[in-house]
């Protein structure tokens, strides 16, 4: 009995010498003679329609691969090339550690026993309170051999400018308690360099989209809606520079994201003298932990850019949905950088309100309390005025 193989599409038994299934016409890979391939055996390829995702079968009439669902036909070589181009490669950051710096000179480390923060300073700067939770910190060790940052953005806003920034922040906030911000509190503001990882890379490749266009027309007493489906491919690349990912688990992400953006063109090579008078947080999220976030940000930005490009250059298409992502990461790298942040806390009515300021731009964000007395005043006053007007109108009408 001649050897037989099983069709990868319809599972029918056909001759091992056949290039196409004798029953459904699908391409045959010369696989094993039984349905279950042994370990290490040939890989069975199944070709899918790029337009609708249904299996493609060989048409003896046209000599092409035909989709039984949407009737589209494709050259065999075209489909093979399409599948190769739209198989996305995994992100590979390579040996990023080679681009990182050396080690820091001996530094003083303060440990907060409340939240576990590790604060680094030079020998001339003393820290007494944790910039994150405001509790006392203690010196525990001399730090040697710590990873040296590649770059740093020095503080541009000094403490003299903080008071004016706070006044601007409070303007127009009528429910804010009086004297919520005090000069004493401003004196306790601490400048902290927060660690971030800056990722570079380029995404290049092909993305496939499902495109649709809809038109309506009337014929007789009926109105028809016609929807056309298109397969759209877009080739291109997109470069990314200094995509930031926070390297501190103790720095709240909402605060850090709110004081962005930073001008990364002002990053300068790290010098320990920039730490004089300021604190520096030790990173507790390494680059390996941050890679997924950086990769996701790059891919999301590239997807939006490719989608916009397809919509702008496809006159027939009114909407698109991504089908295949064949983008690959090229020349990735990462650098360890310190960003300037002012942190301070304000206690009011038994609660702690946290604030953060961008030490480069002066952008200030934080939580603000509401004065209950002012709230009642601003709520009831308009109500009482409106009630008095209504009462006066009724009184005049009844005279």
Q: Helix, strand or coil for residue 37? A: coil
Percentage helix, strand, coil, to 5, in the chain? 25, 35, 40
Residue 376 has pLDDT above 50, yes or no: yes
pLDDT at 31: 42
Query: Which helix (H) or strand (E) segment is 197 a member of?
Result: strand 190-219
pLDDT at 86: 47
Q: Which of 30-44, 95-109, 314-328, 360-374 has the lowest mean pLDDT?
A: 30-44
Query: Which helix (H) or strand (E) segment is 79 a member of?
Result: helix 76-85
Residue 11 has pLDDT above 60, yes or no: no
pLDDT tens-place string over residues 141-185: 544 445 678 889 999 988 777 777 777 777 666 666 666 666 555
pLDDT at 88: 41
pLDDT at 263: 95
What is the average pLDDT score of the chain?
74
pLDDT at 40: 40
- Are 104 and 148 contacting, i.e. CB atoms less than 8 angstroms apart? yes
Contacts of 380 (CB under 8 A, 6+ apart): none
Contacts of 58 (CB under 8 A, 6+ apart): 20, 21, 25, 26, 27, 64, 65, 66, 76
- Alpha-carbon distance of 281 to 248, in angstroms, equals 7
pLDDT at 7: 65
pLDDT at 142: 46
User: Which of 368, 373, 363 minimizes the C-alpha distance to 351?
Assistant: 368
pLDDT band at 34 (very low <50, low <70, confident <90, very high): very low
Task: Report whether the peptide linkage leading into residue 261 is cis, meaning its omega lies within 30 degrees of zero.
Answer: yes
User: Which of 245, 152, 143 minimizes the C-alpha distance to 193?
Assistant: 152
Pair of tokens at residue 189: 């503001």
- Are 48 and 82 contacting, i.e. CB atoms less than 8 angstroms apart? no
How many percent of the chain have pLDDT more than 70? 63
pLDDT at 254: 83
Task: Report whether the peptide linkage leading into residue 220 is cis, meaning its omega lies within 30 degrees of zero.
Answer: no
Specify the higher pLDDT residue, 316 or 245: 245
Q: Which of 90-94, 361-365, 370-374 has the lowest mean pLDDT?
A: 90-94
Give DSSP secondary structure letters for 89-104.
PPP---SGGGGS--B-
pLDDT at 27: 60
Query: Which helix (H) or strand (E) segment is 353 a member of?
Result: strand 351-358
Put simply, whether the predicted model's pTM sits higher than 0.85 gets the answer no
Length, in residues, of the chain? 399
Contacts of 164 (CB under 8 A, 6+ apart): none
pLDDT at 223: 92
Q: Helix, strand or coil for residue 244? A: strand
Q: Helix, strand or coil for residue 140? A: strand
Specify the higher pLDDT residue, 152 or 62: 152
Q: Which of 34-43, 65-74, 158-167, 324-333 has the lowest mean pLDDT?
A: 34-43
End-to-end CA distance of the chain: 115
Residue 43 has pLDDT above 60, yes or no: no
Cβ atoms within 10 Å of 23's Cβ, excluding its own = 14
Q: Helix, strand or coil for residue 172? A: coil
Distance from CA of residue 161 to its chain's centroid?
Answer: 32
pLDDT tens-place string over residues 288-321: 888 888 888 999 999 899 888 888 877 778 888 8
pLDDT at 267: 94
- Alpha-carbon distance of 79 to 58, in angstroms, equals 12
pLDDT at 41: 38
If you average pLDDT over each of 63-77, 164-178, 326-340, 385-399, which comes out highest? 326-340
pLDDT tens-place string over residues 67-123: 877 677 877 677 766 665 544 444 445 555 555 555 555 567 777 777 777 777 655
pLDDT at 310: 84
Contacts of 62 (CB under 8 A, 6+ apart): 73
Query: Which helix (H) or strand (E) segment is 375 a member of?
Result: helix 372-398
């Amino acid at each position: 009995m001649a050897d037989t193989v099983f069709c990868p599409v319809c599972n029918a038994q056909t001759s091992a010498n056949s290039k196409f299934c004798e029953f459904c016409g699908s391409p045959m890979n010369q696989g094993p003679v039984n349905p279950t391939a042994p370990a290490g055996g040939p890989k069975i390829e199944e070709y899918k329609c790029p337009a609708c995702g249904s299996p493609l079968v060989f048409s003896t009439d046209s000599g092409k691969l035909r989709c039984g669902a949407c009737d589209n036909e494709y050259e065999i070589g075209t489909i093979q090339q399409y599948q190769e181009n739209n198989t996305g490669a995994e992100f590979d950051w390579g040996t990023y550690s080679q681009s990182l710096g050396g080690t820091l000179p001996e530094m003083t480390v303060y440990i907060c026993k409340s939240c576990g923060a590790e604060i680094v300073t030079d020998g001339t700067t003393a820290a007494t309170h944790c910039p994150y939770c405001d509790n006392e910190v203690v010196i525990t060790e001399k730090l040697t051999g710590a990873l040296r940052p590649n770059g740093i953005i020095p503080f541009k806003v000094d403490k003299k400018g903080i008071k004016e920034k706070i006044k601007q922040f409070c303007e127009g906030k009528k429910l804010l308690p009086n004297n919520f911000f005090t000069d004493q509190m401003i004196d306790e503001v601490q400048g902290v360099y927060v660690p971030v990882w800056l990722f570079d890379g380029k995404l290049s490749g092909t993305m496939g989209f499902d495109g649709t266009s809809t038109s309506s027309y009337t014929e007789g007493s009926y109105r028809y809606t016609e929807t056309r489906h298109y397969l759209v491919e877009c080739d291109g690349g997109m470069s990314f520079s200094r995509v930031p990912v926070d390297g501190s688990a103790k720095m709240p992400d909402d605060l850090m994201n709110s004081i962005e953006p930073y001008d990364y063109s002002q990053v300068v090579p790290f010098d320990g003298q920039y730490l004089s008078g300021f604190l520096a947080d030790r990173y507790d999220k390494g680059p390996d932990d941050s890679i997924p976030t950086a990769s996701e940000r790059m891919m999301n930005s590239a997807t939006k850019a490719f989608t916009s490009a397809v919509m702008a250059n496809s006159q027939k298409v009114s909407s698109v949905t991504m089908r295949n992502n064949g983008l690959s990461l090229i020349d990735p790298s990462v650098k360890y950088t310190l960003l300037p942040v002012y942190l301070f806390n304000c206690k009011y009515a038994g609660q702690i309100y946290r604030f953060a300021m961008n030490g480069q731009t002066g952008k200030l964000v934080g939580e603000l309390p509401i004065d209950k007395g002012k709230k009642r005043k601003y709520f009831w006053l308009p109500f009482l005025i409106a009630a008095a007007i209504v009462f006066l109108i009724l009184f005049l009408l009844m005279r």
